[in-house]
C-alpha cells in the first residue's frame, strides 16, 4: 500500500536516489527551492533542508505558504522513496495560477504503477485533516498521465491557463 511519510534522515539516501532519476527534467513536489544540488548532496546541506521542511509547516520563507512535505513509500518496501508530495495549506497568487495546493513527483522507475494516484488520494485525506474543503491541483498541458491521475482522484477541470491545466477536487 502506498503511504505518505515525513522526510527523515533514515530515508535520505533513497530520497537522493529518487531525485537523481529525474535527471535534467524539472522535479515537481520535491520542495528543493533555496537549495542547490551540491548542498543537498552533503549531509549538512540535507540537514538544513530537512529543518526548513519542518519550519515550512508554520513558518515558511517570505513569499511561500505553510505546507507539509511527504515522501511517497510502499509498505512492501518502506526504505525506498518512490517520490515526493507537497501539500500547501493555502494559495498565494502564484499557486492559484500555476502550482495549486498539491505538487507531486514520482521517480521514473516507479511510474505507471498507480503510485501517483495512490499518493494523491492519500494527500486528500491529509487535506481533509487540515480542514480543507477543496484543493486545486495543476499539471502541464502536455502531461497527460498527470491529468489522468488528477481526474481519477476526482479532479474537475476548471480551465487551462498558459501551459497549465487547473483542476479542483472537492473533499
Q: Kindly provide the residue ranges of all beta strands, DSSP E only, lying in the chain, ordered along the sequence.
A: 2-5, 67-74, 83-88, 102-106, 134-140, 156-161, 164-170
pTM: 0.93
Q: Closest Cα to residue 85, out of 159, 146, 148?
A: 146
Reported as a single tens digit per residue, the pLDDT across 122-162 is 999 999 999 999 999 999 999 999 999 999 999 999 999 99
Reported as a single tens digit per residue, the pLDDT across 26-68 is 676 667 778 888 888 899 999 999 999 999 999 999 999 999 9
**Domains parsed from the chain with CATH numbers:** 2-170 (3.40.630.30)
Q: DSSP state, 97?
A: I
Amino acid at each position: 500500500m502506498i503511504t505518505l511519510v515525513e522526510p527523515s534522515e533514515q530515508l535520505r539516501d533513497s530520497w537522493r536516489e529518487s531525485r537523481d532519476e529525474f535527471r535534467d527534467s524539472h522535479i515537481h513536489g520535491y520542495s528543493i527551492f533555496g537549495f542547490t544540488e551540491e548542498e543537498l548532496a552533503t549531509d549538512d546541506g540535507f540537514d538544513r533542508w530537512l529543518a526548513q521542511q519542518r519550519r515550512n509547516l508554520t513558518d515558511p520563507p517570505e513569499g511561500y505558504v505553510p505546507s507539509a512535505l511527504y515522501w511517497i513509500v510502499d509498505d512492501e518496501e518502506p526504505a525506498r522513496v518512490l517520490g515526493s508530495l507537497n501539500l500547501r495549506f493555502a494559495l498565494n497568487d502564484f499557486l492559484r495560477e500555476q502550482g495549486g495546493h498539491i505538487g507531486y513527483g514520482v521517480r521514473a522507475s516507479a511510474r505507471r504503477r498507480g503510485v501517483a494516484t495512490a499518493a494523491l488520494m492519500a494527500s486528500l485525506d491529509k487535506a481533509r485533516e487540515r480542514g480543507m474543503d477543496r484543493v486545486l491541483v495543476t499539471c502541464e498541458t502536455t502531461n497527460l498521465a498527470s491529468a489522468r491521475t488528477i481526474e481519477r482522484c476526482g479532479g474537475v477541470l476548471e480551465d487551462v491557463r498558459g501551459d497549465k491545466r487547473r483542476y479542483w477536487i472537492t473533499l
